[in-house]
Amino acid sequence: MRLSDCYNFHDFRTLAKRRLPGPIFNYIDGAADDEVTYRRNTESFEQCDLIPSVLRGVKDIDTSVTVMGQKLALPFYCSPTALQRLFHHQGERAVAAAAAKYGTMFGVSSLGTVSLEELRRSHSGPQVYQFYFHRDRGLNRAMMQRAKDAGVEVMMLTVDSITGGNRERDLRTGFSIPFKLNLAGMLQFAVKPQWALNYLTHERFSLPQLDEHVDMGGGAMSISRYFTEMLDPSMTWDDVAEMVQYWNGQFCLKGIMSVADAKRAVEIGCTGIILSNHGGRQLDGSRAGFDQLAEIVDAVGDKIDVIMDGGIQRGTHVIKALSMGAKAVGVGRYYLYPLAAAGQAGVERALGQLKVEIERGMKLMGCNRVDQLSRENLRFR
Ligand code: FNR
Stated as kind and residue range, the H or E segment containing 186 is helix 183-190
pLDDT value at residue 306: 98
Annotated ligand binding at 132? The verdict is: yes
Nearest CA to ligand 1 atom 29: 332
pLDDT tens for the chain, 381 residues long, are 999 999 999 999 999 999 999 999 999 999 999 999 999 999 999 999 999 999 999 999 999 999 999 999 999 999 999 999 999 999 999 999 999 999 999 999 999 999 999 999 998 899 999 999 999 999 999 999 999 999 999 999 999 999 999 999 999 988 888 777 778 878 888 899 888 888 888 887 789 998 888 766 555 577 888 888 889 999 999 999 999 999 999 999 999 999 999 999 999 999 999 999 999 999 999 999 999 999 999 999 999 999 999 999 999 999 999 999 999 999 999 999 999 999 999 999 999 999 999 999 999 999 999 999 999 999 998
Q: Where are the beta strands (DSSP E) in 197-247?
A: none
Annotated ligand binding at 276? The verdict is: yes
Annotated ligand binding at 109? The verdict is: yes
Annotated ligand binding at 158? The verdict is: yes
Nearest CA to ligand 1 atom 19: 278
Helix (H, G, I), strand (E, B) or coil at 274: strand
Q: How far apart are CA 57 and CA 59, in angstroms?
A: 6
Choosing from 113, 224, 278, 331 the residue with most ligand 1 atoms within 8 A of its CB, the one to mutate for a pocket test is: 278
Cβ-in-10-Å burial (0-12, 13-18, 19+) of 20 comes to buried
Provide CB contacts within 8 A for 197, sequence distance 6+: none
> Catalytic one among 123, 134, 278, 317?
278
pTM of the entire predicted model: 0.97
For the CA of 110, the nearest atom of ligand 1? 9
Stated as kind and residue range, the H or E segment containing 254 is strand 250-256
Cα of 380 vs centre of ligand 1, distance in Å, is: 27
Q: How far is the first Cα of the chain from the last one, in angstroms, to the nearest whole number?
A: 37
Q: How far apart are CA 381 and CA 84, in angstroms?
A: 38
Choosing from 9, 12, 81, 105 the residue with most ligand 1 atoms within 8 A of its CB, the one to mutate for a pocket test is: 81
| Any atom of ligand 1 within 6 Å of the Cβ of 84 | no
Radius of gyration of the chain (CA): 20
| Any atom of ligand 1 within 6 Å of the Cβ of 346 | no
Provide CB contacts within 8 A for 255, sequence distance 6+: 158, 159, 160, 161, 274, 276, 277, 278, 282
- Given phi > 0 = left and psi -120 to 50 = alpha, else beta, which region is 326? beta
Q: Could you give the C-alpha distances from 283 to 110, 141, 232, 237, 242, in angstroms and in order?
A: 21, 28, 18, 20, 27
Nearest to 160 by CA among 141, 133, 139: 133
For the CA of 160, the nearest atom of ligand 1? 6
pLDDT value at residue 212: 80
CATH level 3 topology of 3-367: TIM Barrel (3.20.20)
Nearest to 330 by CA among 227, 270, 252: 252
pLDDT value at residue 219: 58
| Any atom of ligand 1 within 6 Å of the Cβ of 130 | yes
278 is catalytic: yes
Cα of 60 vs centre of ligand 1, distance in Å, is: 33
pLDDT value at residue 143: 95
Nearest CA to ligand 1 atom 10: 81
